[in-house]
Amino acid sequence: MRILFDIGHPAHVHFFRNPIRLLKEKGHAILVTSRDKEVTHRLLDSLSIPHISLSTQAKGGMLGLLRELAIRDYRLYRQVQDFKPDRMAAIGGIFIAHVGALTGIPSLVFYDTENAHLQNALTYPLATRVIVPSCYEGRVPERKTIRYPGYHELSYLRPGYFSPDRLLAARNGLAESGDTFLIRLVSWKASHDLHEHGWDHELLDFVVRQLKARGKVLISSEQTLPDAFANYLYQGNPADLHHVMAFCRGLIGESATMASECAALGVPAVYAALTGRGYTNEQERRYGLVRNVRTLDRESLQAAMDWLLDYDRETAQAARERLLAETIDVARFVAGYIESYPDLPQDLLRTGAN
């Protein structure tokens, strides 16, 4: 079988890397198309995943995004004509949905972001299948939607796929003694971020000052920050950040993905942004590993940091064990469903596989 994966973000690399490996081990031919956004290419190269770059992250707001959409659709269509895949898979999936509708090749779209209203409107009607976590709270085309008990981040952070290495974490910035706190800032340039905004620099400075009194602070940022924050910037290998995260006291930031990654690792996380996610809502409600903050002011973030500082490791690890027991092996599910489509073997939905 010939399978095309379209990857447009660093998180997509992590999500698909194990399914790609599993499918290659079964002898399937794989083509990866990529987008030059942040460290996407660097991650693919570090994992020795060959890829063909089709576009660079657009600038210039809506007009820039529409221009990139047209360019990328055309270039992906050309790659499909040459490679002739039996199926295509992507997160978000706007490009494979368009090209799949033109060529008749099944497009399997994995997604977990409810507030990507424009992207979803341009994708879901044309996608062959939409595959979302059970906790997804947005509208989906029900007759062609698959739901599964799990989160994207378990595709690469579930035991068996990832083992935290403390020595590697220390080489990439983890404090050798005492606590380390990770702050994550996003660029707010994605299509689902239109009309959204995050923390201002005064709020960031407040959070840094509160946390540095309790331990080492690392900032992972998609933004260019003022020089005042230079000493806190994460300088390690992007591919090793999960090792650092696994041994942190906690995370606070604007990234729902990284909050969910922490939950998968048994590390408490604060997701502080104006727009929520179904998966972080469930991780707060069901497991208590995430605190969702929707009001971006000092009082709200101080209360969240107090919660973070009071959270003990034993409670976090017990919550993580419950999470793992109630979710599936997402990487195996992704690879298995791509391979077996249109069938869905029920063993792929068996929970508790560690």
> What is the domain-level CATH number for residue 185?
3.40.50.2000
∠ at Cα 51 (243, 108), nearest 5°?
Answer: 85
The helices-and-strands tally (H runs, E runs) of the chain is 14, 12
Give domain status of residue 342, yes or no: yes
E strands, 161-281, are: 180-185, 216-221, 250-253, 269-272
Structure tokens at 327: 């979710």
Same domain assignment for residues 38 and 129: yes
Q: 140 with 242, same domain? A: no
DSSP string, 47-61: TT---EEEEE---SH
Give SS3 for 115: coil
Pair (94, 10) in one structural domain:
yes
Report the number of distinct structural domains present in the chain. 2
**What is the structure's pLDDT at 196?**
53
Cα gap 53→278, rounded to integer Å: 31
Pair (181, 321) in one structural domain: yes
Which residues neighbour 55 within 8 Å (Cβ) at sequence distance 6 or greater? Answer: 35, 36, 68, 71, 72, 75
pLDDT in the model for residue 132 = 98
- 308 and 339 in a single domain? The answer is no
Supply the pLDDT for residue 222: 86
Q: Does residue 211 share a domain with residue 99?
A: no
The answer to whether residue 354 is domain-embedded is: no
Domain shared by 88 and 210, yes or no = no
Q: What is the pLDDT of residue 194?
A: 42
Q: Are residues 12 and 123 in the same domain?
A: yes
8-state DSSP, 233:
B
* 4, 80 Cβ separation under 8 angstroms: yes
**Bridge partners (DSSP) listed for residue 130:** 109, 145
- Burial, 123: exposed, middle or buried (Cβ in 10 Å; 0-12, 13-18, 19+)? buried
What is the pLDDT, as a whole number, of residue 38?
80
Element (H, E) at 10: helix 10-25
Query: Residue 354's pLDDT is what?
Result: 57
Domain that holds residue 287: 166-325
Domain assignment present for residue 161? The answer is: no
Kindly state whether residues 172 and 299 are assigned to the same domain.
Answer: yes
Q: Which residues have a Cβ under 8 Å from the Cβ of 52 and sit 6 or more positions away? A: 31, 32, 33, 34, 79
Q: According to the model, what pLDDT value does residue 116 have? A: 87
CA separation for the pair 93, 99 (Å, rounded)? 10
254 Cβ partners below 8 Å, 6+ apart? Answer: 184, 185, 186, 198, 199, 271, 272, 273
pLDDT score of 164:
98
Q: Does residue 155 belong to any structural domain of this protein?
A: no
* 8-state DSSP, 181: E
- DSSP letters spanning 292-320: EE-S-SHHHHHHHHHHHHH--HHHHHHHH
The tens place of each residue's pLDDT in the chain, 354 residues long, gives 999 999 999 999 999 999 999 999 999 999 999 998 888 999 999 999 999 999 887 676 678 788 888 999 999 999 999 999 999 999 999 999 999 999 999 999 999 999 888 889 999 999 999 999 999 999 999 899 999 999 999 999 999 999 999 999 999 999 999 999 999 998 755 544 444 556 999 999 999 999 999 999 999 998 889 999 999 999 999 889 999 999 999 999 999 999 999 999 999 999 999 989 999 999 999 999 999 999 999 999 999 999 999 999 999 999 999 999 999 999 999 999 999 999 999 999 999 865
- Quote helix, strand, coil % in the chain, to nearest 5: 45, 20, 35
User: From the CB of residue 248, how many other CB atoms can be counted at a distance below 10 Å?
Assistant: 22
Contact call for residues 249 and 270 (beta carbons, < 8 A): no
Note whether residue 142 is domain-resident.
yes
Residues 276 and 242 in one domain: yes
Task: Kindly state whether residues 341 and 196 are assigned to the same domain.
Answer: no
pTM above 0.75, yes or no: yes
Q: Is residue 345 part of a domain?
A: yes
> 156 lies in a domain?
no
Report pLDDT for 192.
Answer: 42
Residue-level pLDDT at 191: 44
Mark whether 293 and 206 lie in a shared domain: yes
